[in-house]
């Protein structure tokens, strides 16, 4: 990690805002901006956050859900306790069937929102990193079909690249509402983009 990268990160406004407002990461503002536009967390009771560490999205989801629901985060890394009631975390791999069983056990039924900020460990080889990230996004899409209510929402980070358009069509074939958004809190140079999707076309009971 270079000194230049650390210096630029400290100067970055959303990084400063996250520290000042007590959020675990600058990514919290991405979710805030997306929800401000689409309102997918408004009125939600049950929220699943995949790729949850270090916990910024969990904090934002809990703020909106309040005391009445449940927010569950899943990540390969442990999330330092947030000190928030009705926020639970699982250390696990979303590609593992046992992790899915744990998720299902925690929720009393179908969930309102599935969030995916999943990303692979970056290798530095763009084509490889892009394919790995799209694979994770496809897994998140598959799980959203299993876990969501028919009117539920799916919000997923995607790396733009040669597989992006194909994945976008897969999301459109799964949900009747799909929007492509790059929140202001995303770095301009970043290849990440977010898909906000709602209303399952083929609901699974």
The question of whether 157 is a catalytic residue gets the answer yes
* Residue 177, H or E segment: strand 175-181
* HSE-CB of 129 using CA atoms within 13 angstroms: 11
Catalytic residue, chosen from 157, 172, 179, 184, is: 157
- Residue 43 burial (CB count, 10 A): 10
* Residue 102, H or E segment: helix 97-106
Strand partners, 198: 153, 177
Cα distance between residue 6 and residue 15, in whole Å: 11
Strands laid side by side in the 148-159 sheet: 87-91, 70-75, 46-50, 111-116, 148-159, 192-200, 175-181
Beta strands in 54-173 (DSSP E): 70-75, 87-91, 111-116, 148-159
Question: Nearest 5°: phi and psi at 74?
Answer: -130, 135
Cis peptide before 189 (omega within 30 of 0): no
Cα distance between residue 187 and residue 9, in whole Å: 11
Positions annotated as catalytic residues are 157
């Amino acid at each position: 990690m270079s000194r230049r990268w650390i210096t630029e990160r400290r100067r970055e406004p959303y990084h400063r805002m996250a520290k000042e407002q007590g959020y675990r990461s600058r990514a919290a503002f991405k979710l805030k901006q997306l929800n401000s536009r689409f309102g997918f967390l408004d009125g939600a009771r049950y929220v699943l956050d995949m790729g949850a560490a270090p916990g910024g999205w969990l904090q934002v989801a809990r703020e909106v859900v309040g005391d009445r629901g449940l927010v569950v985060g899943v990540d390969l890394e442990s999330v330092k306790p947030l000190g928030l009631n009705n926020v639970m975390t699982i250390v696990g791999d979303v590609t593992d069937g046992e992790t899915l069983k744990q998720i299902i056990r925690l929720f009393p039924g179908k969930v309102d929102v599935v969030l995916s900020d999943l990303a692979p460990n970056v290798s530095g080889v763009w084509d490889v990193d892009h394919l790995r990230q799209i694979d994770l996004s496809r897994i998140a899409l598959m799980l959203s079909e299993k876990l969501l209510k028919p009117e539920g929402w799916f919000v997923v980070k995607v790396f733009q690249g040669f597989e992006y358009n194909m994945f976008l069509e897969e999301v459109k074939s799964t949900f009747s509402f799909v929007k492509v958004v790059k929140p202001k809190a995303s770095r301009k140079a970043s290849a990440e983009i977010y898909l906000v999707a709602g209303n399952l076309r083929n609901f699974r009971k």
